[in-house]
A and B are shown apart, each in its own frame.
Chain A
């Protein structure tokens, strides 16, 4: 009997310890709105499902897309875009540039207040820009070329640049409150987990439950007018299947992460609207173009003729159809068509899918299959066999890589795929002397082409360039375009650069993914697409949807 009692007590102990420990956790995290048990007044809460959790809500250290999506609600930029994607002021009332293009004067809006009641002034802008200039923060790259930031008066700021900065109006830096951060060291800013961010934005952070949700409430004093919705809750989902199911069940109102293979199912639901918009992004097949002797890549791939042959051999339409379920457009040049007239259209010189032409190029360049194994060799007998690094987690990459492998096999090029995680891929490239020949990667694009064009400059080898390509003419044109404040002249240069990159093919631009969003129509109305009628409703360069949205 004693034994049984002890056994029972021991069992109770096992169960009780974690339960009492849980007890601490089961406290409501928020003070109840009303203690007497009555329901508080109905709040309008917009629930947005997201797949990726932000890494941080401090603009100084956040790097993920999901983080930007939230921080842009909390903080403001000087410049935003109107519904036709032309720059207009947000925190800045207006701005002007000097004759020589070296001095930019921003006049700031008055009577804007931080969440804690302090006035927003030129000091905040100067402090933010100076801090970004003084160290390497993720956002710092946008200030390339800026040499000095100066406060003229309480509401005027001047930016000085070394050479004219053509992409000044395209920079999107979130302005941070000087009065909160001025005493913090760089180290502190770098490890500062932003628990209670003080911004000027349209929404304020209420709480962030890691792995669960991020909750924002509206800023009643927002200078563009407060939103009609009281709260936004970003609900974090660990998988897209349940994310879609939650949307159908009405647990969430909208999502920025629509699973491509579920679009048809969602479209059949009368209460759900799926938004498909051309995405400002591209996914490329990148080649190891590093000419340094340290490179561990197959030197054959350094021959642009082989790369161009690959471009002809790859069926991009098929890739869009299979890897993206059709939700994308085949790519051509570095700046995608969705960015507007910065895109250069190769027209007749386009490398259209044509395996025959690809074979001819390879034959003419002296790559033939002499030993009859189906793989071409160069004159010294080196096989056209390349290693292909593919990130296993990105479903579209895995599917695309299979098609590419087959396409290239058809023209006598062998491709050996190895799948890995993204960290391992960047180690291969950056840490292990580029120990692969091909890889897949993607970029998001800004409305200004400078940042994306810079990726292929020689300067960026080992930094943001992932293909380690270098071309003198391209570099010179890059310098030229970044100083051409005359848009027409700059446009010509930008097109010329894309032409060079297209002909040398360090990147084969496979496709631009569509932006897919979905929302429920039964609870809220006022969803606004930016650019008007064709763009997205949630991922926006201004606050249109948030300002228009209201409960039905």
Chain B
């Protein structure tokens, strides 16, 4: 791989990260509310105690000093103390992020597989019954709100049939005899949320895959390939699909990033202990340190996902490397 291309992309990602960190810092300094009163949870605050808190959280320093403190603590992995839980932010987010990533990966897998297969089928049979059916289904599923689909799945599979648990990532408070039993329990809890979330996003993927493939199929080199006598199936899969994947990679990369923070609806319906719910609860409690930490980690995930997408581009589309 072209090392310059890699370095250039790394540098871009780094600059983006710095900007995000800076915005993140100032954003939370202009938010409403007196942080000291929020930490103390009492408007009836003695001045000495308020001073002590100010000192502890650094509110009494000037903005540049606070900024320097902030950068320094970020580098050392210290994201601050949660106002609400009085615990280090990094621990609170740490407990939640894996649950979110697990859900995001599984949901994306469902959605990507579904999107590529159905989108390709639809494009290959343009205008025929398969295409009309697939497109209709994709539009329908695209329009369904994720929370509604989740509730429907829960009331059917969990309450009516009783085959899947209603909430959480594990059976609350259960002792597991083996690690395998634990994994099985997590998978059992994971299935409904990932299907519900996967279905909610696969409609978009299907449509993008279909239109992208249709575009590619009108290219001259496809006609050439057909003229050479390749089978229709080979033309679509070997010649058209790789090029048609380019827009998909972009969309998937953006989606993965956002899913880390944006799985709120699914996490709420299934009481999944993820970051989306944490962000929502923290917003309500005005727990700025947690919000700040979560925003940073979500931005970080988006940047990483985009970086990976850029690298994949390099492979999928060799022209990019020589720009």
Contacts and interface: CB of A to CB of B under 8 A. Distances in A.
B308 interface: yes
Given A6-B315, A238-B277, A246-B167, A19 B105 contact: yes
B98 A56 contact: no
B4 interface: no
Contact of B169 (A33, A212, A462): A212
B284 A421 contact: yes
Interface in B87-101: 87, 92, 95-96, 98-99, 101
Contacts of B27: none
A431 B33 CA distance: 7
A213 interface: yes
A138 interface: yes
A3 B315 contact: yes
Nearest to B100: A18
A245 B273 contact: no
A385 to B, nearest CB: 25
Contacts of B87: 193
Interface residues of B, number: 72
A431 B34 contact: yes
B105 A187 contact: no
B41 A138 contact: yes
B38 to A, nearest CB: 8
A47 interface: yes
Given A242-B270, A424-B32, A427-B32, A40 B167 contact: no
A22 B98 CA distance: 6
Given A47-B172, A191-B86, A238-B271, A15 B92 contact: no
B98 A32 contact: no
A117 interface: no
B101 A21 contact: yes
B40 A40 contact: no
Interface string B257-295: 000000000011111111001100101111000000000
Specify which of A212, A427, A430 lies most central, judged by the most chain B CB atoms within 10 Å of its CB. A212
Contacts of B278: 211
A61 B82 CA distance: 13
Contact of A18 (B53, B101, B154, B182): B101
A135 B46 CA distance: 8
Interface string A205-226: 0100111110100000000000
B257 to A, nearest CB: 12
Contacts of A235: 167-168, 172-173
A432 to B, nearest CB: 9
B159 A209 contact: no
Interface stretch (A23-31, A368-376, A485-493, A503-511): A23-31
B308 A14 contact: yes
B176 to A, nearest CB: 4
A33 B181 CA distance: 13
Contacts of A31: 175
A13 B313 CA distance: 15
A138 B277 contact: no
Given A30-B176, A136-B45, A25 B167 contact: no
B98 A249 contact: no
Contacts of B244: none
A106 interface: no
Interface string B151-180: 100110011001001111110110111110
B49 A213 contact: no
A213 B315 contact: no
A34 B172 contact: no
B76 to A, nearest CB: 18
A427 B177 contact: no
A27 B182 contact: yes
A59 B95 CA distance: 23
Contacts of A210: 85, 92, 95-96, 273
Given A26-B186, A239-B271, A18 B168 contact: no
Interface in B74-117: 81, 84-87, 92, 95-96, 98-99, 101-102, 105, 109
Interface of A: 3, 6-7, 10, 14-15, 18-19, 21-22, 24-28, 30-35, 37-40, 45, 47, 53, 55-56, 58, 61, 63, 135-136, 138, 141, 186-187, 190-193, 206, 209-213, 215, 231, 233, 235-239, 241-243, 245-246, 248-249, 251, 393, 421-424, 427, 430-431, 462-464
Given A31-B175, A61-B86, A239-B268, 9 more contacts: A10-B308, A18-B102, A26-B183, A27-B182, A28-B182, A210-B85, A212-B168, A212-B271, A237-B167
